[in-house]
Chains A and B, each alone.
Chain A
């Protein structure tokens, strides 16, 4: 693994289905983040984790949940997908006040 990986790369999902987006890092960064990017709205924080075992809500957390069982993994779960969750999802890592490193993204379409 080099840096941050996200899976899947893209996914088409029926509304109402459950979906987990995966994010794995090998950079040993304490902090991890999930953003969604929508045209004209920029990057909006969904959930974050400052260290393993802790999570927090971002700007747009409704309909999403996360867990941080260890340093490397930070999965994002959509319990029951809705069309408004169609977006590009980026996972990022960081060490707090300094730069964030972004994964390649997952393009999700909910029909």
Chain B
């Protein structure tokens, strides 16, 4: 079955440093979504990428979808303490019946 690998598992940064998490799928994806989960909370949708090579920005967050539609990344510029949480990528592949396969997530902690 489809597998989605995400690295790193943990990342600790000083406030102001940049952060990147990477996602790789074993199969070509129809789209990839990114979610953020604050400690003790539930996953919240951030963005969806659909097109090959797509790049989207949300303030300090930059999301990329690879040309082959098998990998993606989330980059945060100048982290803030409010960025703390676990970031998940999740992909849908053709024939998956709209089921999302989640990566295991990257836990980001930020030292003020």
A interface, CB within 8 angstroms of B: 31, 33, 35, 40-45, 48, 50, 56, 58-59, 90, 92, 94, 96-105
Contacts and interface: CB of A to CB of B under 8 A. Distances in A.
Given A96-B98, A102-B42, 4 more contacts: A42-B88, A43-B43, A58-B99, A97-B92
B104 A97 contact: no
Contacts, number: 55
A59 B42 contact: no
A99 B42 contact: no
B104 A48 contact: no
A43 B97 contact: no
A99 B99 contact: no
Contact of A90 (B1, B30, B43, B98): B43
A11 B105 CA distance: 26
Interface residues of B, number: 23
Interface of B: 1, 6, 9, 30-31, 33, 42-45, 48, 88, 90, 92, 97-105
Contact of B44 (A97, A102, A105): A102
A49 B42 CA distance: 20
A59 B110 CA distance: 33
